[in-house]
Chain A
Amino acid sequence: MVSYLLRRLPQAALTMLVMSVVVFVGVFAIGNPVDILISPQATATERDNAIRALGLDLPIWQQYWSFLVNLFQGDVGRSFVFNVSALHLIMERLPATLELALASTLLGLVIGMPFGLYAGLAPNSRVSTSIMAGSILGFSLPSFWVGIVMIMLFSVHLGWLPSGGRGDTVYWLGARWSFLTTDGLAHMAMPVLNLALFQISMVIRLTRAGVREVILSDYVKFARAKGLTETRIILVHVLKNILIPVITVVGLNLGTVIAFAVVTETIFSWPGMGKLIIDSINVLDRPVIVAYLMLMVLMFVVINLLVDLAYMVLDPRVRLESR
């Protein structure tokens, strides 16, 4: 296990390094930072001084080196717009995004599992066919359009739910949360459902596939032969066995949900880091863009490492291969 981890860690570090080159080249080499950082009214001398102060006169590899060193120290520069540390700015918005992502994952499980269970137990019924057709729609509909239709229906037409923002928040565990107030919950309802659509569809498919596999197994047949009630068979023998893979996949999908929150946050003006990055891209606030991209890459590298480790623990074949 340790040797496997030791071999995977350099790979993860290499991925991070490659991505840092991509981001550096993209942000600092393609666009000219001088045009953005220095006022166009500046005189030639002022410009030269500023270029020297920013280190932009150095050869590109030296610039990259100082970028890398700063990156390791968690310093990606100050936001041009807010004039605070870019990383700090993102961390400040992180709770809002996490709240949205976790709530929608939970909703995905709560709604998806019963539907998937039903579709797996009665695969040929008309209801199951509609459930599966619905899950295909959940996969293929662009979620931003569904969000717009939701706002149109529930905010504009019916006036039941607010169309954007976080509502009242409560300070708890060092951050502000919406889910602790009724107003906050009302503001959360639509974004969470919107973000959860994909996960509901995914959980339905996973659960259905799992149920159909487990239902044919010997231990379920044996439980039936013993004369156990169908409820007990479903709850104990079937559900318990499909729970682990479903929750694993859903948990590992959390990163994708956080990345996809960009869309949901933009529609519902949810002040999370997804909305921050889109706003930053629109005003070319480069330090924030860099901080966000590097943070997301780091998150996915860590998630992938966890996935590999999980497979190694769960699947002996991977362990043997890595010897």
Chain B
Amino acid sequence: MATSVHSPKPEIRKRGEQTPFRRFVSDFIVSRLAVLGLFVLGLVVLIAIFAPLLAPQNPYDLAQLDILDGMLQPGTVGGGGYPYWLGTDEQGRDMLSAIFFGLRISLFVGLGSAILAFVIGATLGLTAAYFGGKVDAAIMRWVDLQLSFPAILVALLILSLLGRGVLNVMLALVIVEWAYYARTARAAALVERGREYIEAAQCLALPTSRIVYRHLLPNCLPPLIVIGTMQVASAIALEATLSFLGLGVPVTEPSLGLLISNGYQFMLSGNYWVSFYPGVALLVTIVAINLVGDQLRDVLNPRLKT
């Protein structure tokens, strides 16, 4: 859509004025929606990082909770003298604070597992592409096998065996996701492997690890970054789903999914806010990441540029 407006300009650019990064930024800001997504995402990340400073109360310090303030409507002023903008749960916990703290756990699990899966997947994918032959066949056979099972089933399998816990969830997410990175990295590396600069590096007798990490990897990054962005969003969503099912994070470290799950039991009696607002926070986060990822794909995909 908007990218067509920004098809390469016919005029010749002066050398030095356009760095790749500047070109990337100017391509990215073409979509207002993506910029909005990036802005919201930045806000969400800042809230998650500074949650203890921003939250009106520490939702997990029992001394700060007042049971008399339980199940208050959004906007009610409680015993602490400050308004509960998003209401309270049955223990008198301020939902706004709970959401801020929940965001931390959701983002930590989502980002952490995505980064780990990126490292493992990209390494195996590059290895498969660079060495080819039996190594390639073995790795890709495993990737194909794993991708033929839906993510939720693989996660269910792992978590029903290991039990709930932040590290277990992250392990499950990494096991679910590495295959996507491996496949993408391999596809990109297969194209790059035939290029002249790899041949040149091989002629210089550089060590294999140097060729793979310093020459091959940087040139395979764009599609991996796009997949990575999307995978962070799906990791956050999957973690929330698993936590909702009671298989994810433990009750002592409630993510957004667990907050939604906790509030679910009160919803049928009309106390919608305990479940609804954490859901909105989850939704905003996921949509913002996807908007950014969508635009990244348009900008970084050379096929869409003429």
Q: Hey, which chain A residues are within 8 Å of B160, CB to CB?
A: 26, 277, 281, 289, 293
Task: Tell me, yes or no, whether A151 is within 8 Å of chain B by CB.
Answer: yes
Task: Tell me, yes or no, whether A145 is within 8 Å of chain B by CB.
Answer: yes
Q: Hey, which chain A residues are within 8 Å of B152, CB to CB?
A: 259-260, 262-263
A277 to B156, CA, bound (A): 10
Task: Tell me, yes or no, whether A9 is within 8 Å of chain B by CB.
Answer: no
Task: Tell me, yes or no, whether B43 is within 8 Å of chain A by CB.
Answer: no
Q: A27-B161, A142-B237 are in contact. Are A149 and B276 (CB under 8 A)?
A: yes
Task: Tell me, yes or no, whether B135 is within 8 Å of chain A by CB.
Answer: no
Q: A141-B283, A156-B267, A259-B152 are in contact. Are A22 and B157 (CB under 8 A)?
A: yes
Task: Tell me, yes or no, whether B246 is within 8 Å of chain A by CB.
Answer: yes
Task: Tell me, yes or no, whether A178 is within 8 Å of chain B by CB.
Answer: no
From B149, B161, B287, A140 is in contact (CB under 8 Å) with: B287
Closest to B240 in A: A142
A56 to B166, CA, bound (A): 31
Contact A156 B272 (CB under 8 A): yes
Task: Tell me, yes or no, whether A68 is within 8 Å of chain B by CB.
Answer: no
Q: Hey, which chain A residues are within 8 Å of B272, CB to CB?
A: 152, 156
B-contact 0/1 string along A19-40, CB 8 Å cutoff: 0001100110010000000000
Contact A144 B268 (CB under 8 A): no
A-contact 0/1 string along B244-277, CB 8 Å cutoff: 1111000000000100100010011010100110
Nearest CB on B from A47, distance (A): 24
A300 to B276, CA, bound (A): 35
| Interface residues in B22-39 (C-beta closer than 8 Å to A) | none
Q: A30-B161, A263-B241, A281-B247 are in contact. Are A141 and B153 (CB under 8 A)?
A: no
Contact B245 A142 (CB under 8 A): no
Q: Hey, which chain B residues are within 8 Å of A182, CB to CB?
A: none
| Interface residues in B1-47 (C-beta closer than 8 Å to A) | 1
Q: A259-B152, A260-B152, A277-B156 are in contact. Are A144 and B267 (CB under 8 A)?
A: no
A-contact 0/1 string along B273-304, CB 8 Å cutoff: 00110010011001100100010000000000
Contact B245 A148 (CB under 8 A): no
Q: Hey, which chain A residues are within 8 Å of B268, CB to CB?
A: 151, 155-156, 163
Interface residues on A, range: 35 or more
| Interface residues in A257-291 (C-beta closer than 8 Å to B) | 259-260, 262-263, 266-267, 277-278, 281-282, 289
Task: Tell me, yes or no, whether B148 is within 8 Å of chain A by CB.
Answer: yes
Nearest CB on B from A253, distance (A): 9
Contact A255 B150 (CB under 8 A): yes
Task: Tell me, yes or no, whether A15 is within 8 Å of chain B by CB.
Answer: yes
Q: Could you tell me how many residues of chain B have their Cβ less than 8 Å away from some Cβ of chain A?
A: 38
A-contact 0/1 string along B170-188, CB 8 Å cutoff: 0000000000000000000
Q: Hey, which chain B residues are within 8 Å of A145, CB to CB?
A: 240, 260, 279, 282-283
Contact A263 B286 (CB under 8 A): no
Nearest CB on A from B17, distance (A): 34
Task: Tell me, yes or no, whether A136 is within 8 Å of chain B by CB.
Answer: yes
Contact B153 A296 (CB under 8 A): yes
Task: Tell me, yes or no, whether A130 is within 8 Å of chain B by CB.
Answer: no
Q: A255-B150, A259-B150 are in contact. Are A140 and B241 (CB under 8 A)?
A: no
Closest to A137 in B: B287
Closest to A143 in B: B241
Q: A255-B150, A262-B156 are in contact. Are A156 and B245 (CB under 8 A)?
A: no
Task: Tell me, yes or no, whether B162 is within 8 Å of chain A by CB.
Answer: yes
Task: Tell me, yes or no, whether A241 is within 8 Å of chain B by CB.
Answer: no
Contact A263 B233 (CB under 8 A): no
Closest to A144 in B: B244
Q: A22-B157, A144-B241, A263-B241 are in contact. Are A278 and B246 (CB under 8 A)?
A: yes
Contact A141 B286 (CB under 8 A): yes
Task: Tell me, yes or no, whether A181 is within 8 Å of chain B by CB.
Answer: no
A259 to B241, CA, bound (A): 13
Nearest CB on B from A157, distance (A): 8
Closest to B264 in A: A148
A277 to B245, CA, bound (A): 11
From A151, A266, A303, B245 is in contact (CB under 8 Å) with: A266
Task: Tell me, yes or no, whether A248 is within 8 Å of chain B by CB.
Answer: no
Contact A140 B233 (CB under 8 A): yes
Given contacts A26-B161, A145-B283, A148-B275, 12 further A-B contacts (CB under 8 A): A140-B234, A144-B240, A145-B260, A148-B260, A155-B268, A163-B268, A256-B150, A260-B150, A262-B152, A266-B245, A278-B246, A293-B157
B residues adjacent to A (C-beta < 8 A): 1, 145, 148-150, 152-153, 156-157, 159-162, 233-234, 237, 240-241, 244-247, 257, 260, 264, 267-268, 270, 272, 275-276, 279, 282-283, 286-287, 290, 294
Could you give 26 example pairs across A and B, Cβ below 8 Å? A22-B157, A22-B161, A23-B157, A26-B157, A26-B162, A137-B287, A140-B237, A140-B290, A141-B286, A142-B257, A142-B283, A144-B240, A144-B245, A144-B260, A148-B276, A151-B268, A152-B272, A156-B267, A156-B268, A255-B150, A266-B244, A282-B246, A293-B156, A293-B157, A293-B160, A296-B153
**A-B interface, 6 closest residue pairs, ranked by CB to CB distance from nearest:** A26-B161, A256-B150, A145-B279, A259-B153, A142-B237, A259-B150
